Amino acid sequence: MKKEEAINVIKILKEYYPDATCSLDFKTPFQMVVAVMLSAQCTDERVNKTTPSLFEKYGTPEAICNMELEELERIIHPCGFYKNKAKNIKAMAKVIVEKYDGKVPETMEELINLPGVGRKSANVVMLEAFGNPQGIAIDTHAKRIANRVGLSKNTTPEKIEQDILKLIPKEYYKDVNHLLVWHGRNICDARKPKCTECPIKKYCKWGT
């Protein structure tokens, strides 16, 4: 896909989803990191139902460090993979307390080095918690749409992100992050995409 076409796709989606935004609830950058870690293999809706009871008592890195692992596992159980997620959340909180004086670091490099935080999560945190998008978070929706529309022929998230970054100017990073997820949830379903309703159908090689 050419740059101009890619930008048109984003502009059309922006008009189609004017309210597209992050659907995870959080009040602080630390809570955003926890929410995004919980959202792996889980819906944002379920995460948002779980985090209020966690953050009510344990909304800071210090509080997470001091809580029992079993208590954390119990609270986040509905989000799935709770043992692994609890272990990573506690390890991440410990690093934030000990290395960063309780404040979530504000660079991609530092975020990626936190336990349990990969590039996708770091991209989400940079955008949502700090309003400073550095790239595109490639989740299952972004991957599928990028391949279908022709934004990227690659299959790994890292390569897909690099392909999109070559096509889209930085001013659109924020929109791209939200729009691909919204389009995936609303129209470009994995199994049954609603191609006849799709506003970017004319740009899509895959659509029928």
Q: Which is nearer to ligand SF4, 115 or 207 (CB)?
A: 207
Q: Which stretch binds ligand SF4 (CB under 6 A): 53-61, 76-84, 130-138, 186-194?
A: 186-194
- Residue of closest CB approach to ligand SF4: 207
Identity of the amino acid at 193:
P
Residue 152 makes CB contacts below 8 A (sequence gap 6+) with 146, 159, 160, 163, 164
82's tokens: 């709770």
**What is the nearest approach in angstroms of ligand SF4 to the Cβ of residue 164?**
14
As a whole number of angstroms, the distance between CA 166 and CA 49 comes to: 37
Find the binding residues for ligand SF4 in span 108-147 (CB under 6 A).
145
166 catalytically annotated = no
Please give the angle made by the CA atoms of 70, 72 and 74, to the nearest 5 degrees.
Answer: 70
SS3 91: helix
Q: Which is nearer to ligand SF4, 137 or 145 (CB)?
A: 145
Q: Which is nearer to ligand SF4, 102 or 199 (CB)?
A: 199
The correct pick among 108, 188, 190, 191 for binding ligand SF4 (CB under 6 A) is 188
**What is the nearest approach in angstroms of ligand SF4 to the Cβ of residue 9?**
9
Q: How many CB atoms lie within 10 A of CB 43?
A: 13
Catalytic residue among 120, 143, 163, 174: 120
95's tokens: 């690093």
Catalytic residue among 85, 139, 143, 174: 139
As a whole number of angstroms, the distance between CA 180 and CA 176 comes to: 6
Q: Can you give the binding site for ligand SF4, defined by CB under 6 A?
A: 145, 148-149, 187-188, 193-195, 198, 200-201, 204, 206-207
Which residues are known catalytic residues?
A: 120, 139
